[in-house]
Amino acid sequence: MPDLALPPLPQPPAEATIAALAAELEAVEPGLVLHRSIEERTRLSRDFHDYSPVLTPLLAGKIAQLAVVASTVEQVMAVAAACARHGVPLTLRGAGTGNYGQCVPLAGGVVLDLTGLNRVRRIDPSSGVLEAEAGCRLAELDAALAPHGRALRMAPSTWRSASLGGFIAGGSGGIGSVRWGFLRDPGNLLALEVVTVEPQPRLLTLEGGAAQPLNHAYGTNGILTAVTVATAPAVAWQQVVVDFPDWWAALEVARTLPGTALELDDLTLLQAPLAAGMPWTQGCPAPAAGQHRLLLLVAPDTLSLLPAWLAERGGTVIWQQPQGSSRGGTLRELTWNHTTLHWRARHKGWTYLQLALPVPERPLLEAVAERWGERVLWHLEGVRQGGSARLSALPVVQLGNAAELAELINFCRDHGAGSADPHVLSVEDGSSGVVDPNQVAAKTAHDPAGLLNPGKLRGWVGKA
């Protein structure tokens, strides 16, 4: 695990500079909401990095000196201009559901909340292409798409609260990734509207490949004010819960089901102790002792075949319900990092990893079980990676410090797994580990003074 210390950072600006900037903003954009109280600044400087025992102490006390809520592109441009003129760090924020401290300001300055930019601009009737402002919540976008027979291609399990801009800048995939892959896969993100951070900010439209350097860059290289994405035909997804007495039989089904013509929107496999610890959706029985559990979102036309297909492979359908008729929580909110959320609610001190499993998966899973036993519990997710059906994993782990986590991550890497480490701060360390020159070039072009989210783009640190 790299970087356990904070990177070199600019000094937080003097309070007099912040006061001058605030006064200027109130004069030029009276519609902006400015928060100066410690309570509001603290609230708007937090995300969900407390899942990490490594990031939690590192980010303690990192609070913006001013929090601003914008609701128009003009207001965003006014904030960008003022920060550029005063040399004040600017950290962007959607709903604040990120897991890696992505919207925690490391060098003080301003936090800009963009959830007020919440207008749908266009749903193309023939292609279904959606253009919406960056602060739109994903659930609201699905509601807007539904009358057109369309839906978002993919969403994080935080779909109810997460913003579109935050998903593009901070997320990677989720429900739907078993069909559509990840946000970075060409064809999912089509264009971005971007505000630059300069004394005279520019409003740019970046299309196709030009938008990619801002995809998953933690808001370090441009302010997204609108996003254009491809959408999918809407399907009345059915929630199906399947129990298996045998873990390896369940793994085999998770490996092979996405390769059939049975249409899926999500496939989640939980090892028995983890399945036993979930708050099951109303009406869905908890698993019997020792049962491993597969959660599926499937198209209605699979239902005549699926139960028999699963039974032949050792699985029993326990519960089934259309997603749209769920009361309270849906299966969606038991998948992806919601599994971690629910487990941690009852098991303090546990954390998690994010892995791309090797093929075949079994040797790694056996080797980890032999070394760590039930301190590592497997949670697998079906994904499409580079066009092929693969399994990723978000195991929950009872490992309390950086050295123990690094040992497990390195062990998994040595056994062929990829790791997107959720216990590091920079864009690069949380993904491939390699500096992407296109991300750095975009920062040079859109944020020449290096004010956006300082400390998070390793390829830039020290350049400003």
Ligand X SMILES: Cc1cc2nc3c(=O)[nH]c(=O)nc-3n(C[C@H](O)[C@H](O)[C@H](O)COP(=O)(O)OP(=O)(O)OC[C@H]3O[C@@H](n4cnc5c(N)ncnc54)[C@H](O)[C@@H]3O)c2cc1C
Interface contacts to ligand X, rule CB under 6 A = 47-48, 91-99, 102-103, 114, 134, 156-158, 162-163, 165-167, 169-174, 218-219, 223-224, 336-338, 341, 453
Q: Is the Cβ of residue 94 or residue 128 nearer to ligand X in the bound state?
A: 94
* 73-86 vs 15-28: helix crossing angle, rounded to 10: 150
What DSSP string runs through 53-78? Answer: TTHHHHHTT---SEEEE--SHHHHHH
Tokens of 451: 């004010």
Q: CB of 314: closest distance to ligand X in angstroms?
A: 28
> Considering beta carbons, is residue 100 or 372 the nearer one to ligand X?
100
Asked if 176 and 298 count as a contact pair (C-beta separation under 8 A), the reply is: no
Minimum distance from residue 217 beta carbon to ligand X (Å): 8
Q: Which is nearer to ligand X, 116 or 307 (CB)?
A: 116
List helix spans (H) across 218-376.
247-256, 272-276, 306-311, 336-346, 362-372
Beta carbon of residue 392, minimum distance to ligand X (angstroms, whole number): 10
Cβ–Cβ < 8 Å for 165, 224:
yes
Phi, psi of 124 (to 5 degrees): -70, 125
Q: Write down the least CB distance from residue 428 to ligand X, Å.
A: 14
Q: Which residue is nearest to ligand X (CB)?
A: 166
What is the sign of the dihedral through the CA atoms of 413, 157, 293 and 257? Answer: negative
State which residue, 287 or 422, has the beta carbon closest to ligand X.
422
Q: Are 455 and 461 in contact (CB under 8 A)?
A: yes
Query: Residue 215 or 238: which CB sits closer to ligand X?
Result: 215
Burial 350-377 (b: 16+ CB within 10 A, else e): bbbbbbbbbeebeebbeebbeebeebbb
- To the nearest whole angstrom, how small is the minimum distance from the Cβ of residue 345 to ligand X? 10
- The least distance separating ligand X from the CB of residue 162, rounded to whole angstroms, comes to 4
Which CB atom, from 165 or from 287, has the smaller least distance to ligand X?
165
User: Could you tell me the smallest distance in angstroms from the CB atom of residue 317 to ligand X?
Assistant: 25
Give the 3-state DSSP-derived string for 303-321, with helices as H, strands as E and coil as C.
Answer: CCCHHHHHHCCCCEEEEEE
Q: Among residues 157 and 302, whose Cβ is nearest to ligand X? A: 157
DSSP 354: -
